[in-house]
Structure formats: C-alpha cells, structure tokens
Structure 1
Amino acid sequence: MRTDTADFTKLFLEDTPLLDVRAPVEFTRGAFPSADNHPLLDDCQRELIGTTYKNNGQQAAINLGWELASEEILATRLTYWKSFIDHYPDGYLYCFRGGLRSRFAQKLLREAGIDYPMVKGGYKAMRSFLLSELEKQCENLPLMVIAGHTGSGKTELINLVQRSVDLEGIAKHRGSSFGRTNSQQPSQINFENKLSIDLLKLSQSPGSVVIEDESRLIGRCALPHVLQAAMKTAPRVLVEEPVEARAQRIVRDYISEGLNRFTGSEKPPAESLGEELRFNLNKIRKRLGGLRYKQLDEALNSANRELLKSNNSEAYIPVVISLLQDYYDGSYDHIMKKANQEILFRGTYKEVQQWLSDSSQLPQK
C-alpha cells in the first residue's frame, strides 16, 4: 500500500496526477498543472462549514459536514473519485492543508475499498514549496535572454532550444496590446506555479536556460520580481531583423493565423478579427496621439475591408510597419539604452538560430 507523501520535488518532476478535493473557487484561484478538481464540498458548503468552524470550532464543523453529506452527494463524489483513481492509480489527493477534507475523502474511499494516499500539508505546502523553488532557481540557474524588437521571432527561437522557458506560452499571451491568443490566460498563481515547475525540471541538469526578454506584464500575468531581477543581469543575444521582415512575421502570426481563433463565430472570422484589432489599437490611442491614431485606424480599417473582401492580408504590412516604427521600436530602444548586460551575440534571425544550434556557444555556470 502506498503511503502519504511530502516529497514535493518528485511530485512535480514526474507530473504526478493530483486529485484536488478543494472547492471549485479555491481551484480556480490557484492549482497545479497535473491537478484535476473533484471537490468534496461545493462553494456554498465550504463557506457554511468554514463559518461554523470559525464560530463554533472543529467538531461543530465536522458535524455540519456530515449533515450536508447526503447519500446522493457522497455517491456522486465517490463516482468521480473512483474514475480519477482508475485512470491515475499512482496519483495522490490533497485539500488545502492536508487536513479534514483530505482525511474525510480518504475515509470515504477506504469504506469503498480503495486506499489512496494524500499529500501532506496539501495545497498550501506545495504552493510554498514552488514559491521557494522559484526564488531559488531564479537566483541559481544561469539565464540567457533573447532580446530584439517586436516581430523579430524571439519566441520561435526560444522554442527551438531544448533548455528554454517560453514565458508567453505559459502566460498564453504574446505580450503586446495585440497579443491575445485563443486560450484564456491562467491566474497569476497558476502562471507562477507552472513557471516554477519548468525551472525546477531544468535545474536537474547543467547548462544555461534561454528565456525571452519580456516586460513586467505578459497580458495580465506579471513576471515575479525575482525573475525580473535575474533577467536584468543575464547576458543577452540580440536578434536584429529588418522592419519589413518583422512586419511580415507579425501579419502571419496575428492576421493569417489569428483568423483561426474566430472559426465558428457568428460573424465571418475576418470581420471579428478586424473588430478586435481596432479595439486593441484604441487601447494605445493616447500613447499614439490623436492624429497618428486616426491615420492608423483608417489604414487598419481599410486593411480589414480588404481581408474581408478577398482574404488578402498584404494590406496590413504598412500598418504594422507604422506601428513598429512609431510606437513599439521607440519604447524598446528606450529600454535597451538603460540595459548594460553582456551581449553574447547579435545577428539576424537566421544567424542567431545558427548560433544557438551550436550548443557549445551556450555559457555554462
């Protein structure tokens, strides 16, 4: 029979399946990539029992729990738990602190003839472990930052390197005002948890970790302060692409491939994408200035009409070039002037790709 565990490192390195018996509201607030939520209590029940515990003590809360646990509710819970355990016999269950809910779930399972271990300390202990590891790995892992203007292909280069962390991939956002993807962004806690697990896995072997230069926010996900500090002192590789090539890459990623996000919508995909692009442009209206915004909005509207009419995205290229030259490049150049990190290499996308392919170029700590 397997026993309860507090070996958090093994749990996360092996992506161990986790049965989360916390209430849905707790799971939504923060969980782990390998966890499924099959709650012991729903949100209302959790609130009632929590209030009783606070006002009348543990035994009163336990008694209320039994009152709320009708045979029908218990049978439903057991059905979900058994299904999870059948699929993941080597997993573990957990609640918030590894206390009453975990032990109660284990009791119900044992009565049904199933022994299933729990995580000691529950979610709180695992979350504390990941926060500690995140700080530890950001301080100890040798980072190398891929930098360059918007549209240089930095994310593509990151994904070509085995020892890398795709921050935009974890955040499910491309990092700009136009960076929305087809996936909902994770909560801040889930973003940090996934980042910490990825760094923990990379720490198991030597070598530099390649990471993309990012601002403090990727959509609504904020880079942890300890990671920001590490990136500010890490050596850099600069990708230097002509503005025309960058514009073509952006049109491919945001327009041609972006249409796929609206497949199945009530409106034609081109119309829905066009509306979103104009909405996003409006978000940076003040920073562009009234006249420049008006000119870009008119050009964008014209490109939207062309896309809707003929499925041709070429009209977006001059719009993107203007946005890069008048807005994004200036902001990035201002930031780069303040940076004083060592530059390991600089070149075009293809030159950087070739440089990265030679693993001997990656500095070792």
Structure 2
Amino acid sequence: MSIRPDTDQFRQIFLNDTPLMDVRAPVEYARGSFPNTANAPLMNDEERHRVGICYKEKGQEEAIRLGHQLVAGDIKAERIEAWKRFAIQHPDGYLFCFRGGLRSRLTQQWLKEAGIDYPLVKGGYKALRRFLIDSLDDVIQQGTFHVISGRTGTGKTRVLHDMPNPVDLEGLANHRGSSFGRQVTPQPSQIDFENALAVAMLKAQDRGGPIYLEDEGRLVGRCSLPLDLRERMASAPLLILERPLSERIAIIREDYVEDMLRDYRQRDGEAAGWENFCDYLLSALDRVRKRLGGERHQRLRRIMEDALALQAESGDLSGHERWIKSLLTDYYDPMYDYQLSQKSGRIAMAGGPQALADWATRQ
C-alpha cells in the first residue's frame, strides 16, 4: 500500500467529510474543533500544563524531555493503541495538532514505530481554522441568499430541507431559536458552531445556486451568527411560509411536546425524563414572562400545568393546544407581524410549503 503524503488540501478535507484525529489536549478540543473529528490526545490537560510551565522556565529541550517522561510506559502504549484504532477505522483520515509541529510529528513517529504510516495536516488546527474563517467570509460576500420566514409554528425548518441548497442554522446551533428552542443535548461552543457553519456554507457553495437559510436573529440560542452574514440576510429576498393556525398548533405540539418528551425520556428514563420535560416547558414559558406581562403569564402557566397534569393522568395531549394557541395568537403573531411590516419590500414569494418549493425549483 502506498504511503499517503501529508496534506494542505483543506477544501477537499471539508468537502469530503474526511475523518480527522485531533491530538491536542482535551481542553483545547473542548474550546473548538471540526466536524468529523475525534480527540485522541498526545498529552492530557495536566501533562500539557506541566510541559508548558517547563517550556517557559527551562526551554524547549527540557520541555520535550519532561513530555517523554510523562507519556511513557503504559500511558504511551494506551495512547498509541487509540491512534492505531483511529487509523485502522479511518484509513483515509489525517491527524493534526495546533500548528502541525512537534505533537503531530511525534504522534506520526510513534505510530510509524507501531507499524502504521499516517499523514498529518500541514499547519494543523490553526491552518484549518484560518481556512474556514476565510472561506466563510468568501461565501458570505459572494453567495446569493434566500431567506425563509413565517409565523411561529409554520414549520420553516422542515420546508428549508425541501429547498435545493439549504443551510440549517438551527441544526448547526442545536437550538430552535426561540425561548422554547433548547434541545436535550447541549449547544456547540461558538468556535464549533462557526466551523460547522463554514463547512456547511462551503458545501452549499460547491453545490451551486442560491443558498437557502431560515430567518434568524442575532443569536440562535447562545450561538452568535457572524455580523456579515446577518447583514446579507437582512437584505436577502424573503419567502414567507404560510399555514393555517390549526396546522401550526399541531406542528408546535409535535415539536415541543411529543418530540421533546420522547427525547427527555430517552436520555433520562421514564420518571426523570417526565420531570425534566415538565421543567423544560414551564421554564421556557417563564423566560418570556416580562414580555407576556405578569397576568397573562400566570394564566398561560396555569393552562400549561393543567395540560401536563392531564397528559400525566391519561396521556391526552389536547390540553396543550390551549396554551399553544394563546401564545401564538396573543404573543408570537403580533410580534412577527410587526417585524414583517418592516421587511415588506423584500418579499419575493408567499404561500404554503409546496408553493415555496415550486418557486425555489424555478430559480
């Protein structure tokens, strides 16, 4: 088998979802890495910390000597085994450290001594990150964007995925973008979100044609959209998704009641899953207390509590439709209608899911 060379073909790495092995310490990985990346560190956080202090106080040679003392024997053997597993499972992958320097070379050397030649990414994390930042800037400046908007509950994310060239901002942020938008699993770090967004945009650019996005504010949960992207979205043509109120209520119930309860129970078990689901719904309502006003908030909270009690007693979900309908018609719709009135000159199309899909295929 021919030995694959080290690479600086960053675009192909991301377009091809190439598996990557990040040999930086866990604390570095947690701050941000890339899609399709696994952490298999050369040094753990404590070892890295001690080597860093040694480097500052005594220089590189002493730091390298200390590193070899810390990562030796069984510890060294375990880490090499982890690298070997990755290399065997992902024969088309690459490894990287922060700058593609000492840690990458040492990992390569130890793997080679164990019988495996495995290539690295030239320039490491820093070069990959720089490439994604520049690529995202390029797509934002050069791309054509269409934005799907619509009242809460119209199922914008579902329709987005029927578009020819979608980028799902909420999916990348793991958040539905409202006070009820939290998911069971945590959101990515800001750097992880930016990297995943850049990769998604790179793929959309590669597919060609207009890029379709869902209308979002500055934040999707705690993930912040790039300012340049928000500015492009703020001037992009709008596709307004319309659905009857009854369908919107059904979509909200499915997404935020049925699916969320299922996810909590899958994560936490029956009893704890139910308790955490109830806390999720009530806490989400509490987060908009100020904007609802105290009296309306208390009324909706009582309706929600009654709906949860009915669901717990009999499995009947119909009680949820009362608070959903009230929240839509009294709170979300007036707010959305006001915002839309400021954007009326940008509307390119309004209609149901099929009408929007048909419009997009003609572009």
TM-score by length of 1: 0.94
Which residues in structure 2 correspond to 1:8-19 (within 5 Å)? 8-19=10-21
Counterpart residue number, 2:179: 177
Q: Which moved more, 1:319-328 or 1:263-272?
A: 263-272
Q: Is it true that 1:141 corresponds to 2:113 in the alignment? A: no
Cα deviation 1:140-159 (Å, max 9, x = unaligned): 11110000111111101011
Match of 2:316 in 1: 312
Q: 1:337 aligns with which of 335, 338, 341?
A: 341
Identity %: 44
**Aligned position for 2:209:** 207
2:39 to 37, 40, 55: 37
> Among 97, 112, 115, which residue is 2:114 paired with?
112
* Structure-1 residue corresponding to 2:352: 348
3-state secondary structure, aligned to 1:177: coil
Contact 1:236 1:342 in 2 (8 A): yes
Structure 1 residue 128 corresponds to structure 2 residue 130: yes
Q: Trace 1:284-299 onto structure 2 (pairs within 5 A).
A: 284-299=288-303
1:155 to 2:171 alignment: no
- Are the equivalent residues in 1 in contact too, given 2:163–2:357 (CA < 8 A)? no
Distance between the aligned counterparts of 1:282 and 1:170, measured in 2? 26
RMSD: 1.6
Report the Cα distance in structure 1 between the residues aligned to 2:44 and 2:181, rounded to whole angstroms: 35
Q: What corresponds to 1:52 in structure 2?
A: 54
Give 1:321's aligned residue.
325
Query: What is the aligned residue count?
Result: 359
Aligned with 1:247 (options 246, 249, 265)? 249
| Distance of 1:348 and 1:162 partners within structure 2 | 17
**Paired residue type of 2:284:** N
Alignment CA distance shift 1:341-1:201 (3 Å): farther
Opposite residue 211 of structure 1, the aligned amino acid is L
What is the correspondence of 1:60-139 to structure 2 with a 5 Å cutoff?
60-139=62-141
Distance 1:338 1:52 in 2: 59
Instruction: Please give the alpha-carbon distance, in whole angstroms, between the structure 2 residues aligned to 1:290 and 1:195.
Output: 38
Tell me, yes or no, if structure 1 residue 265 matches structure 2 residue 243: no
- Contact 2:165/2:207, CA 8 A, preserved across alignment: no
Structure 2, unaligned stretches of length 5 or more? none
Looking at structure 2, the residues matched to 140 and 348 of structure 1 have their Cα atoms a distance apart, in angstroms, of 29
Q: How far 1:269 sits from its partner (Å)?
A: 4.6
**3-state DSSP of counterpart to 2:271:** coil
- Which residue of 10, 21, 28 corresponds with 2:23? 21
Q: Residue 351 of structure 1: CA displacement?
A: 3.0
Give ranges in structure 1 of 5+ residues lacking alignment: none
Any idea what the Cα deviations from partners look like across 1:25-68, whole Å, max 9, x if unmatched? 11111011111111000000111111222232211211111121
> Partner of 1:277 in structure 2?
281
Instruction: Tell me the distance in 2 between the aligned counterparts of 1:333 and 1:57.
Output: 63
